[in-house]
Amino acid sequence: MDHRTLRPFPEGFLWGGSSSAYQCEGAWDEDGKGPSVKDVDPIVPGTSDWKVTSDHYHRFKEDIALMAEMHFNEFRFSIAWTRIMPDGVTENPKGIAHYHEVIDECHKYGIEPVVTLYHFDLPQALQEKYGGWADRRCIDDFVNYCRVCYREYGSKVKYFLTINEQNMMVLYNPERLTNEKKVWQENHHMLVAGAKAMTACHEMCGAKIGPAPNITAVYPATSRPEDVLAAMDWDQMRNRLFLDPAVFGTYPEALENFMKDRGVFPETTEEDFEALKNGRPDFIAFNYYGAGCVRYMSESEAQDAAKNAEGIQHFMTGLMSYPGMCASVRNELQEHTSYGMGIDPVGLRATLRQLYERYHLPLIITENGCGVPDTLEADGTVHDDYRIDYLRRHIRACQEAITDGVELFGYSPWSAFDLVSTHQGITKRYGFIYINRDEFDLKDLARIKKDSFYWYAKVCASNGKELG
Ligand code: BG6
């Protein structure tokens, strides 16, 4: 629907940017930090490792000062569990002190820290000790780690996020094709851990807390009834499986029956469901890049697709499908970045609407952005008008959703400054601030303001009025 007049962004709306520890901090083994699973995972050939990344660990003051110059009133970052507890359980005072400094630096400029407790980087020690999330013990270790964070930072952080993109961790796990029940078991443990972490937060401090999955509206590839049903099903597996337990304490019913029928539903206890019911999110944070699109795919057809997977794109398409349910397809009606990621601001509005209508909780967008290889010109400028265009359209979609009645309280795009992408290196840049390094040549790691830096500064300062 077209509104004749758009509502303004609410007073106090959070404008900022996001990052994650392992993708930007570097200093991977400094000041007592232990290795995470990310530090030991094989690196995608041709991309850089996690040892230095953007060197944010050493340059966070400079980075936060630049965010302040952009008029951020919010900065979303993650705490590396392995800095706080190098082996996953023993406290490391130097690591704890580091995040005190980061949080204090944010407050110096009136920037609200939005703190992700877990962003893909499980302590390797716990992986070796008992196989990580596959083991129930990981729930207690995670909650104990969260308790340390609440004890230390709970009086100065207003917003915590439990687990970043649990759904992407689970759905993209290749073990889903060979040992599916184990992957759903890991997922169940993370759901219970997230719920218990929310309960502990409410017990220990006044901060608000919520989950941070990657959520997107799912389109049917055609209006064929089977495709429409496939889109509803994939919405259950891609989105609701991660939010219904967090908000309602239950699995989505059709999906639960589907998993049970296949013998892959995880082992659960009554106490787990009690914990899920008790853990109440104050809001939902979500990451959005582009809407999903699926068609119905029979069991045998999908299995063949997974077997024949070649190259990362095909591999991922295989994983974003489910035998007897659906296959993800490229939506040719959606624009795409050079990396094949969808560009769909209308999908963002649809996602905001669906989330709000379903859960009736305040929402914050904790990732959204355009990853492309920027060019640093000889005169030291970076002309990223494509990023400005991308963000402008998505911010406009937020405003439309607010006018629809959605309670959105923040927009924190990916990423505040360049950092190393999960699979495609530093070449795939998202930031407002260019980090002067290449894939393997660290150069001087200087911070350079892109055109989008100046543009976004105006957006933040004007509370979204000046979109240009
Ligand atoms: C999200 C993650 O999946 O998307 C981030 O939370 C990630 O960690 C971001 O960097 C962009 O994806 P990518 O693969 O381009 O880095």
> Which class is domain 14-216+238-289+338-461?
alpha beta
- Cα(422) to ligand 1 centroid in Å equals 6
Nearest atom within ligand 1 for CA of residue 420: 16
Q: Which amino acid is at 7?
A: R
Which one of 152, 186, 367, 400 is the catalytic residue?
Answer: 367
Q: How far apart (Å, rounded) are the C-alpha atoms in residues 216 and 321?
A: 15
Q: What share of the chain is helix, strand, coil (3-state, %, to 5)?
A: 45, 15, 40
Q: Tell me which residue has its CA closest to atom 16 in ligand 1.
A: 421
Instruction: Give the start-to-end residue ranges of the domains of the chain.
Output: 14-216+238-289+338-461
Q: Are strands 284-287 and 208-212 parallel, antiparallel or unpaired?
A: unpaired
**Amino acid sitting at position 199:** T
Task: List per-residue pLDDT tens for the chain, 468 residues long.
Answer: 999 999 999 999 999 999 999 999 999 999 999 999 999 999 999 999 999 999 999 999 999 999 999 999 999 999 999 999 999 999 999 999 999 999 999 999 999 999 999 999 999 999 999 999 999 999 999 999 999 999 999 999 999 999 999 999 999 998 887 899 999 999 999 999 999 999 999 999 999 999 999 999 999 999 999 999 999 999 999 999 999 999 999 999 999 999 999 999 999 999 999 999 999 999 999 999 988 999 998 888 766 766 665 544 555 556 788 889 998 888 989 899 888 888 999 999 999 999 999 999 999 999 999 999 999 999 999 999 999 999 999 999 999 999 999 999 999 999 999 999 999 999 999 999 999 999 999 999 999 999 999 999 999 999 999 999
- Residue 128 CA, chain-centre distance (Å), reads 25
Catalytic residue among 25, 105, 112, 165: 165
Beta strands in 308-437 (DSSP E): 327-328, 335-336, 342-343, 363-367, 408-411, 433-435
Q: Is 423's C-beta closer than 6 angstroms to any atom of ligand 1?
A: yes
Indicate if ligand 1 lies below 6 Å from the C-beta of 164: yes
Residue 152 among the catalytic residues: no
- Ligand 1 neighbour 418 (Cβ under 6 A): no
Catalytic residue at 165?
yes
Are 315 and 262 in contact by the 8 Å Cβ rule? The answer is no
Can you tell me the distance from the alpha carbon of 339 to that of 322, in angstroms, rounded to the nearest whole number? 24
Ligand 1 centroid – CA 421 distance (Å):
6
Is the Cβ–Cβ distance between 330 and 293 less than 8 Å? yes
Find residue 219's DSSP bridge partners: 293
Beta partners for residue 18, in sequence order: 76, 414
How many whole angstroms separate alpha carbon 412 and alpha carbon 15?
A: 6
Please give the helix or strand (H or E) that residue 78 lies within, else none. strand 74-78
> Contact 117/149 with Cβ under 8 angstroms?
yes
> Is the overall model pTM greater than 0.85, yes or no?
yes
Are the beta carbons of 243 and 284 closer than 8 angstroms? Answer: yes
> How far is it, in rounded angstroms, from Cα 301 to Cα 325?
10
pLDDT of 306 reads 60
